[in-house]
């Protein structure tokens, strides 16, 4: 499993697997929002939690189609399916590699960009916590969508349509954590809900992803 993780991380860096692409998109979206909304710092502060989370969601979506595409193109996906490592483990490693190259950089840089949106400094710890808890779920759900559309020509649009509705609960509770933290209210409920969603995703999605891969490999 460690060898597969190292291989996927190397592919992400060397073969255009999405490393840096999502982060660049995230930076661009956050930078452009103040130009579109205007100089009203109060308005920017109010919409900042939702903007940051929507930008993170779209940034994660950019590189999802690459999760299994490279393996399918070079013929290594059938080999992975017949390896001693179960497909469920392959799916889990693929989701983890996507999060390390996409979700983790977004989480680290998000508080810095919060200044551009006039986000209250009291919300910064909650922004970090919500992204750290929620972005792994985005990657694992994305792996499921990528498995459903692997091998399809121009399957990126179909994958987006399949994945985006599944992202909504994570988006809602992730933004709610930051908004309540900025207002000084208790964040326990949305934070627990976000953690529960992520735990449920990691408990179920590897099996669903493996099933989708088996169907597409027949």
Boundaries of every domain in the chain: 2-217
Tokens representing 23 are 């982060």
Closest CA to 197 of 134, 143, 106: 134
Q: What is the mean pLDDT of residues 145-160?
A: 80
Measured in residues, the chain has a length of 218
Arithmetic mean of pLDDT, 107-132: 90
Give how far Cα 204 sits from Cα of 59, 162, 210, 211, Å.
Answer: 23, 17, 10, 11
> What pLDDT score does 18 carry?
58
Which residue, 84, 192, 195, 216, is CA-closest to 144?
216
Residue 156 pLDDT more than 90? no
3-state SS, one letter per residue, for the chain = CHHHHHHHHHHHHHCCCCCCHHHHHHHHHHHHHHHHHCCCHHHHHHHHHHHHHHHHHHHHHHCCCHHHHHHHHHCHHHHHHCCCCCHHHHHHHHHHHHHHHHHHHHHHHHHHHHHHHCCCHHHHHHHHHHHHHHHHHHHHHHHHHHHHHCCCCCCHHHHHHHHHHHHHHHHHHHHHHHHHHHHCCCCHHHHHHHHHHHHHHHHHHHHHHHHHHHHHHC
pLDDT for 16? 53
pLDDT in tens, 17-37: 456 778 888 999 888 888 888
Mean pLDDT over all residues of the chain? 87
**What is the model's pLDDT at position 23?**
86
pLDDT above 60 for 154: yes
For the segment 178-189, the average pLDDT, to the nearest whole number, is 91
Instruction: Select the highest-mean-pLDDT range: 106-120, 149-163, 169-183.
Output: 169-183
Question: What is the arithmetic mean of pLDDT over 63-77?
Answer: 78
Number of Cβ within 10 Å of residue 203's Cβ equals 10
Percent of the chain with pLDDT over 70: 94
Quote the percentage of the chain above a pLDDT of 90.
41
pLDDT attached to residue 155: 66
The token pair at 79 is 């080999």
Q: Is the pLDDT reported for residue 61 higher than 70?
A: yes
| pLDDT attached to residue 150 | 84
Is residue 58 within 8 Å of residue 29, measured between CB atoms? yes
């Amino acid at each position: 499993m460690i060898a597969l993780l190292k291989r996927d991380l190397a592919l992400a860096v060397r073969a255009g697997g999405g490393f840096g692409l999502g982060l660049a998109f995230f930076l661009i979206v956050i930078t452009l929002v103040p130009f579109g909304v205007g100089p009203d710092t109060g308005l920017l502060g109010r919409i900042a939690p939702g903007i940051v989370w929507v930008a993170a969601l779209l940034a994660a979506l950019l590189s999802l189609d690459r999760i299994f595409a490279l393996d399918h193109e070079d013929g290594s996906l059938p080999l992975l399916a017949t390896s001693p490592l179960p497909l469920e483990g392959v799916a889990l490693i693929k989701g983890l590699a996507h999060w390390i190259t996409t979700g983790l950089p977004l989480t680290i840089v998000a508080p810095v960009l919060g200044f551009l949106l006039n986000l209250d400094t009291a919300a910064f710890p909650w922004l970090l916590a919500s992204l750290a808890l929620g972005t792994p779920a985005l990657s694992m759900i994305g792996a499921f969508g990528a498995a459903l559309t692997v091998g399809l020509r121009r399957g990126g649009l179909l994958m987006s349509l399949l994945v985006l509705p599944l992202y909504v609960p994570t988006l809602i509770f992730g933004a709610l954590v930051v908004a309540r933290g900025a207002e000084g209210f208790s964040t326990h409920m949305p934070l627990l809900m976000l953690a529960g969603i992520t735990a449920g995703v990691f408990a179920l999605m590897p099996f669903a992803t493996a099933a989708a891969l088996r169907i597409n490999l027949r």
